[in-house]
Amino acid sequence: MSDTTITTFDKAVLLETLKDYSFLNEFSLELYCRVNAPEAPVDSAWRLCGAVDRCRIHESVPLSPLDEIMTLTVAGKQPKVMRSPVGLFSFAVPLPACYGSSYCLVGHGVREKRLDLNFLEPLAKIGDIDPFTLLGHLDKLPVATMDEVEDAAEKTHRLLHLLQKEKLQDIFIEKTMSRLNAVVGLCTEIDKATEAEPALSLFLDTITILFDISKVGVALAGLNKEDFPLIRDRSSHVALETAPDSRLESFIPKNSYGKCFVLGDEIEEFFPNSSAEKTKCLPLYADDERLGLVALFDAELQTGEVHLLELLAARVAAKFAQLRVNKELSGAKALSEKLLDMISTMALMEENEVLYHGILEMAAGLVHASCGSLMLVGKNGEDLQVESVLGMNLQLAKSLSLKVGNGIAGRVAASGHPLLVNDIENDTRISTRNRPRFKTKSFLSIPLGFKTSTLGVLNLSDKENGEIFDEGDLEVITRFGRHAAAMLHRANVRERSEILEQLVVTDSLTDLYNRRFLIKRMEEELNRSKRQNGHATFMMIDLDNFKIYNDLCGHVAGDKALKKVGRILKSSVRDMDVVARYGGEEFCVVLPGTAKMESLFVAERIRRTIEKGAFSGEEGLPLGRLTASIGISSFPEDGDSIITIINSADTALYQAKRSGRNRIVIFHDTSDDTSIELSAKIEQQQ
């Protein structure tokens, strides 16, 4: 196996898996690869290619001739333990042949109980560091004996031979799926919370338990600490602080959109006792409002872990925003029993169009208006779009465009102040002729504002009895408008939450469904097929020589190719079919109600379209173009469970690869040697 077979992903998985073992908990682990060939001289250079919980002392102070020791360790294929003059321990362990012949694992970051201070000052000079500062760092290191370090090195050496790369992949997938399932379940629990404290408390428990982060800080805007009794009574590893809105705005990047960011010493403004060198921060960000931040002090996180924490933080922020809306709604004084009924009715309106028309009809009913319109501010903040009307055609009204600041409704949206007009022709603020479609010259126009944002404008005209609108009508509609605006805001929050839920089941690169959703849908289809004695066909599609394509053209081109293949798959099947990215360059298609032989036409359409598609740089591939191999299995012929169906398709795919690629193979029981293979020309072979 060549030295290039251990990928960045393999390194990260290996290091993370090793850190799960208790005898390595106290060690900083670093993975090195040799720059020169194995037969190079003893002084050949090594470079760091992966680390977890890296000891900061070793970043600035060279404590041992590490290059020479690693070279000897790899050459002898046995672990070595080192002790520096000052009393620091390290060990070096060669990686087994399955990872390549030029990799070495180094563990350090522990010390003897008693340090030899005679070597402290010379060591500090080497690293250009104050001796007392260095002593403080050394004092914080875990204490171990030579026997314990030698035991850890021997155990690591044996463990590395047991942890073959394939097993590591299984461990990583199992751990990732376990965490993903836990996070999805926790999102549901957060959604159930009726108060902010249990939602935040559950989030913090998840950080400290599921992600093993020992020290966390929370800064919330407008925080009332009395509302968070459980968090205030926690152990010292969780800090709770108030954060002014203005300071949050300056710290949280404007375009973060809930993404994790890193702070240095400036985090001490929120948490003066943090004493962290680097802090990862998760913004609590909802509806363009910075609600707070969660600080993870000195946390070492993989990219996937960061994404899961971002997902949880977004859910907590959305819950806070929702709870604030609910609190404002519950605190608002009811106009009357009728107004309370209206609010309850609006709360049950799930569809936005129904909510828009419901708000307009309720408002008109409150002041007995026969005409009106509901206009919402566009996402650009510049346009007003009619969403619902009374007394005129909706499509005609939607054809009328209006800018914020222009016209009556546009000026109301820009100013944020309501407008009551008794006579449109004689009111000095308007002074314009009445339009023929209106029966009276009186109207109401109020902004629908939530906090500091104007969401839209509600316009009402033509009282049913022909009278003019008065101050009482304005007060009723203004108070109703506050509730209506809150409902519009809640609808926006709900829409964003639905988008977030969609992200959980969607592959971020191709916009196809991910493996988690695929398994769920396969289970549903198999159960339905069993009940109805029907068929279901499963395709596993793998791009041929895709690793070579990535090496030739780069990962950017590879990502573009995967996206294009995703579009080809979606356009080649029915709306009822399920297309998913299984992982890497593998895709899957589920064809409900389709027998095996019927699926051939779909499979060939997919294979041919990919083969004829233009992919940048594909001429350098072994076949001269980017192609795909397809394995097909069906229910009930090839199994009655998800595992057997997938394994059957995978077996057929392997046959297609082994037979030359760019072909379709239908799985048949190998006991009778009747597998069907289709080449690029769709020729049946034995």
pTM: predicted TM-score of the whole model, two decimal places = 0.36
Contact 91, 81 (CB under 8 A): yes
SS (H, E, C) 518-530: HHHHHHHHHHHHH
Contact 444, 367 (CB under 8 A): yes
Residue 472 has a CB neighbour count (10 Å cut-off) of 9
Say which DSSP state 311 is in: H
Instruction: Name the 3-class secondary structure at 161.
Output: helix
Confidence of residue 277 (pLDDT cuts 50, 70, 90): confident
Structure tokens at 353: 């169009």
Nearest alpha carbon to residue 87 among 43, 27, 138, 47: 138
User: Which pLDDT does position 1 carry in this prediction?
Assistant: 35
Confidence of residue 680 (pLDDT cuts 50, 70, 90): very low
Nearest alpha carbon to residue 572 among 535, 533, 541, 602: 602
Please provide the average confidence, as pLDDT, over all residues in the chain. 80
Which amino acid type is present at position 5?
T
Confidence of residue 64 (pLDDT cuts 50, 70, 90): low
pLDDT in tens, 610-631: 999 999 889 989 888 999 999 9
- Please check the confidence at residue 141 and state whether its pLDDT lies above 80: yes
| Domains of the chain listed by start with CATH number | 8-163 (3.30.450), 170-329 (3.30.450.40), 338-481 (3.30.450.40), 515-685 (3.30.70.270)
Beta strands in 163-260 (DSSP E): 216-221, 238-243
**How, if at all, do strands 684-685 and 676-678 pair?**
antiparallel
Most confidently modeled range among 59-68, 86-95, 167-176, 178-187: 86-95
Known catalytic residues are: 585
pLDDT in tens, 635-674: 999 988 999 999 999 999 999 999 999 999 999 865 544 4
Contact 335, 479 (CB under 8 A): yes
Nearest alpha carbon to residue 62 among 105, 7, 123, 10: 123
Dist. CA 601–CA 607, nearest whole Å: 10
Structure tokens at 84: 């520096």
Strand partners, 295: 217, 281
- Please check the confidence at residue 496 and state whether its pLDDT lies above 70: no
| Torsion angle (degrees, nearest 10) of CA 326, 331, 333, 339 | 10
The radius of gyration computed from the CA coordinates of the chain, to the nearest angstrom, equals 33
